[in-house]
Amino acid sequence: MAEEPAPSSSRFRIRREASGLFGRASAAVAPVWRASRLVRLGVYALAALVLLYALVWVTVIRTLPSADKLLTYQPPLPTMVRGTDGEIVSSYARERRVQLRYVDFPDPLIHAFLSAEDKSFFSHGGVDFTGLAGAVVDYATKFGSGQRARGGSTITQQVAKNILIGNEYSVTRKLKEMILARRIESVLSKQQILELYLNEIPLGRQSFGVQAAARAYFDKDVGDLALNEAAFLAILPKAPETYGRAKNVERALERRNWVLDQMVKNGWATADQAAQAKAQPLGLVPRRSENYTADAGYFLEEVRRQLIEKFGENADNGPNSVYAGGLWVRTSLDTQLQSAAQDSLRAGLLRYSGGRGWHGPVATIDVSGNWQAELVTANIGIRYQDWRVGVVLGRSGSGGTIGFADGRTAPLYGIPGGPGPKAGDVIVVAPNGNGFSLRNIPEVSGGMVVEDPQSGRVLAMQGGFDARLGSFNRATQANRQPGSTIKPFVYATALDNGMTPASMVLDGTFCVYQGAALGQKCFRNFGGEGGSGSHTMRWGLEQSRNLMTVRIANDTGMDKVVRTIKNVGIGDYQPYLSMALGAGDTTVAHMVNAYAALANHGLQHDQSLVDYVQDRNGKVIWRADNRDCSPCNMAQWDGRPMPRFRVSGRQVIDARTAYQVVHMLEGVVVRGTAETLRDLNLPLFGKTGTTSGPTNVWFVGGSPDIIAGVYMGYDQPRSLGGYAQGGRIAAPIFKQFVQATRPRWGDEPFAVPAGVRMVRIDRVSGRRVFEGTPADQEAKAGVIWEAFKPDTEPRRTVRAEELSVKEAVMNALRKARAARGGQGAPSDQGGEGDFVEEQGGIY
């Protein structure tokens, strides 16, 4: 049997055979290599190509993004904001963008862009080599001159540039464009590529895509564009910031008409159509920002802040960012109530500031250089009647020159003497003849909030005269002393601790020792008025008596009072007696939410401005009302009771206590410090407030369905004047608001919750009465209904003249019982029946 060769011997034989094969091949090729120069050049060329490809792969191809990204490409889109009725009220955008489908683009528009940019788009494979050759020649002739060569890019290459690789000016970028264009053509259809292009191409005026540009330049949708307008949009990709300017009209017309000629040449328009289009002017509308019908700057800015906090600002913060995520936001904004709130607050500010003279400019800018750019950058505006914002360019006596953001100038009349407007002052003016006259923005300001008490949804918000003059929102950001508007919560605490609306309280001097350092402090009523004796707690609230309030707070315990104030969300205060008179800081938004709890039987909801948020595909990604109701989505009824949402909100005040306070606050409107509202003839409750100085005036109140609050004061607190009171200044603002929205205010009274007894009492003495008809809506009513918790109503009182009559009636009842039953007189020990008879019947 033969032995197997050793492994080492096999490897040696293989190497020897391979070496021989290589040697024979080399021997065969060597003569050809030496004899043929052409072979050597070919090999060198092939090696050079391999090296070149390796170099291009390392420097260009390896770093290219995948064209497959375009299949799932999500362009940055603005956030659209809707009001409570579903209508768009605003958008948050730094760029104008509107996404359309390919079928939404009209043929003349498509043909105009193809004629201007890439007439062979539907026939090439991503790169037009004829156009590319021309671009190379142009680049070579301009090399080193500083001039930019024409691109020669197809529409597919422009898609690659705009979406995937950027707009760097280099040969490398052009190579990337070409390679990516070929890849794009392999993954997308021509229609998909053109759709991306027409939606993403930058066209000036912060517009990206043809729909946004159609709105920016012509205030039209793409489907409404005329042929000349479509041709104009098609010239913009080459130089969007040049052709859209008024000084370049002739260049724009020349280029537009060239596009029209190309459309005729390509068979996409007739000569007559082109001639008619050429006869038309450019017809561009002035550059302007989006102008939505709702004027709710403060509300919308607060929504923007909340959205940025939840989702981030830019695309780097996530797919649902405010300025790139394409969100759809449904808010609680009621445009009717918003307009009324804005008009009412403005009217109140103007009434107060009337006749006070000019108090200074809105802002000051440098007018020694490009004043128009400075004014535009200041981003100051106003939307009130026919008022406008401008900058004083010069002054001569009582006249001068005013300049506006659009570059126009006009005469300025009626400048007041003394320290009036000077050059550089940004002021507000109104038309006057062929010029303008000065208008005065009130120096005093304020805030107003309107809320639905049954859900916490904020329906309107006004944080000053105009949000374009400054973004500081006095409705949510201004911490002010609420004054007497805090008192209802002091009284609520007392009601929870044994007092009733009919309890008698001394309206008299009240002093408290504050320690050796501070000594004794004595409280006074508003205006330094002294006491007036004992009165019911209701009267003290209706007339806003400080001395009674402090006495009630002291007897109840300030620790309990500040706990109630904290529970309703007004603020977290130290237990000082001055807090019972509104010395702590809060916002009008917090006060409105606290009053909403009173109107809603003590059940409080978190304030919300946003109902829900949808992503760009319509999926709800956040909502304010997150209660679950899984059975609501059952395919078929299972025979059980109808599913219902659980009650939302939190009980911050006893329902009975809340109603007692509301019932007393109705008296504030009928006969108290808000008596100016009585002629509205509506079931309203509310409370005025005036802080020391007086520096702030307030009114907060409303109906079972709408709560509104308003305050007025200087941003740097100072006295409003001795006559300023909440009932004189703030309550009329609320009144105008109600009058402007009267159909929205129902006539249904406040519902009485379970566990409340309505008892007739003497309004002055607080004693229970059994005669007379209550007249709650009369200012001087002697008898009114009062709300009591069980077993807290005043004890029965009997007048002396009634005793003989009662005794006679009781004797007659005894005789009748004896006759019916043959029994004697009622037992002295009595029983249930005797008790009812002796008490005069069932209560």
d(C-alpha 673, C-alpha 687), whole Å: 8
123 is catalytic: no
What DSSP character marks residue 569? T
- Using DSSP's 3-state secondary structure scheme, residue 401 falls into strand
Cα 471 to Cα 141, 291, 409, 443, 466, distances in angstroms: 53, 18, 27, 15, 9
- Which of 117, 185, 301, 374 does the annotation list as catalytic? 117
765 is catalytic: no
Please provide residue 687's backbone torsions phi and psi, each rounded to the nearest 5 degrees. -145, 135
- Residue 494 amino acid letter: A
Q: What is the 3-state secondary structure (H, E, C) of 735-768?
A: HHHHHHCHHHCCCCCCCCCCCCEEEEEECCCCCE
Where does 150-248 have alpha helices with state H?
155-159, 171-187, 190-200, 210-218, 227-235, 240-243
Is the separation of the CB atoms in 343 and 296 below 8 Å? no
Task: Classify burial at 412, counting beta carbons within 10 Å of its beta carbon; exposed 0-12, middle 13-18, buried 19 or more.
Answer: buried
| Cα–Cα nearest to 614, from 311, 335, 312, 317 | 311
The helix or strand, by DSSP H or E, that contains position 298, with its residue range, turns out to be: helix 297-311
- Using DSSP's 3-state secondary structure scheme, residue 642 falls into coil
Q: How many other C-beta atoms lie within 10 A of the C-beta of residue 726?
A: 29
Q: Which residues contact 606 (CB under 8 A, 6 or more apart)?
A: 456, 624
Cα 617 to Cα 74, 199, 464, distances in angstroms: 11, 17, 36
| Cα–Cα nearest to 341, from 333, 351, 329, 331 | 333
- Which of 153, 339, 484, 608 does the annotation list as catalytic? 484
Dmax (CA) of the chain = 156
- Catalytic sites, residue numbers: 117, 484
